[in-house]
Amino acid sequence: MISNLADPAISGFFLGASLIIAIGAQNAFVLKLGIIRKHVFTVVMICALSDAALIVAGVGGFGTLIQSTPGLIKAVSWLGAGFLFIYGAMAFSRAFKTQSLATAHIAPPSLMKTIITVLSLTFLNPHVYLDTVVLLGGLSARYAGAAQIAYGAGAVLASFVWFFALGYGARLLAPVFERPVSWKILEFLIGAIMWSIAAKLLLL
């Protein structure tokens, strides 16, 4: 058992950060809403709290259960792939529209639609379970007692830091996205990310 709680906390923080700081469907959605400054707090809180719940579940022992139930991951993979394919197609459609895409003219999604979308992007992505519940949860077995709790807390903190930085830092890019071509490129990239992740999920 590690007596110094700082070591497992730092380990959990950097491992958690390395897993979530990657271009993915969830991060792309947070980035877009951050740029247009709509529902940012709600979205980043949902993302961070969802990660926290999954990390706690993993550290609490559910990682081992998930590893022993491959059929569950397969089912979530197919559902997630279908959702991402549809969302990606919508992004491609927006990328090829000709109307102005300046931030001031973008109609923001409703709060309910935003919540449903971010929950779907989070919980229909099996990589979320693999990263948080299985990987982070499995590696927590290296620690015991308070050290294990510190490890989990470090990973949870990484999620909060990342999503709040992404959501509220995205507004710094707003001047770039006042040009319609920038939005077209972003929507196209989002569509490409969604479809590439969907393809990977089908190959799991």
Q: Quick: pLDDT tens for 37-65.
A: 889 999 999 999 999 999 998 888 765 56
| Tokens matching residue 112 | 């309910």
Specify the pLDDT at position 72: 64
The lowest-confidence range among 10-19, 163-172, 178-187 is 178-187
Specify the pLDDT at position 102: 46
| Tokens matching residue 150 | 């510190």
Specify the pLDDT at position 73: 64
**CB-based contact 5:147 (threshold 8 Å):** yes
| Tokens matching residue 171 | 């507004």
b/e burial code for range 115-143 (CB count within 10 A of at least 16 → b): eebbebbbebbbbbbbbbbbbbbbbbeeb
The lowest-confidence range among 11-15, 74-78, 127-131 is 74-78
Q: Is the pLDDT of residue 184 over 70?
A: yes
Q: How far apart are CA 141 and CA 12, in angstroms?
A: 12
This prediction has a pTM of 0.70
Specify the pLDDT at position 40: 93
Terminal Cα distance for the chain, rounded:
36
| Tokens matching residue 22 | 């990657």
Q: Tell me the pLDDT tens digit for each residue of 124-162.
A: 887 788 778 877 777 777 677 888 888 889 999 999 999
Neighbours of 189 (CB within 10 A): 14
